[in-house]
């Protein structure tokens, strides 16, 4: 088996899907379907790991192609919180971790609806939002009046 550490995690071992080669610079490894490998690692973390370590939070963030600033904005936390999680100084809260898992899983599936909803909610929280809520009944039931 090949101990694969290039992903930033220490516990990843490849049973197959790689080839050891000689290069002018020494021994090398060629990985088949690197994007697929990275998705499989991320989904394994999301679906099977009871608590995420800082390195695993970083792995998922990078897999989402987000900066610490952008992930913080999406999750509704301070950028220093994300930095603290990734540097093992603080632990991510369970609700925030669950949201990160859901966003990553959705990212792999290609849907985007959870992330869109969270970003819309964050936008609402960033401004004073006071208005009269008007509702009316229709044949289909109650609805908000636009």
Same domain, 44 and 90: yes
Same domain, 51 and 112: yes
> Domain residues for 4?
1-32
Q: Each residue of 52-89: pLDDT tens digit?
A: 999 999 999 999 999 999 999 989 899 999 999 999 99
How many domains are contained in the chain?
2
Q: Please, are residues 42 and 36 in contact by the beta-carbon 8 Å criterion?
A: no
- The full length of the chain comes to 146
Same domain, 14 and 51: no
Label residue 126 by pLDDT band (50, 70, 90).
Answer: low
Contacts of residue 12, Cβ cutoff 8 Å, sequence gap at least 6: 3, 4, 5, 41
Same domain, 7 and 19: yes
Cross-strand partners of 98: none
At residue 129, does pLDDT exceed 60? no
What is the rounded CA–CA span in Å between residue 83 and residue 26?
36
At residue 124, does pLDDT exceed 80? no
């Amino acid at each position: 088996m090949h101990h694969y550490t290039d992903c930033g995690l220490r516990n990843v071992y490849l049973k197959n899907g790689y080839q050891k080669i000689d290069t002018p610079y020494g021994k090398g490894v060629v990985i088949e379907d690197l994007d697929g490998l990275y998705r499989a690692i991320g989904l394994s973390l999301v679906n099977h790991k009871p608590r995420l370590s800082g390195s695993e939070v970083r792995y998922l963030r990078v897999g989402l192609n987000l900066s610490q600033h952008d992930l913080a904005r999406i999750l509704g936390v301070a950028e220093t919180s994300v930095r603290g999680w990734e540097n093992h100084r603080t632990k991510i809260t369970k609700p925030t971790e669950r949201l990160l898992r859901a966003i990553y899983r959705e990212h792999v599936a290609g849907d985007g609806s959870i992330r869109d909803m969270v970003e819309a909610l964050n936008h609402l929280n960033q401004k004073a939002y006071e208005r009269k809520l008007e509702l009316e009944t229709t044949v289909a039931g109650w609805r908000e009046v636009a």
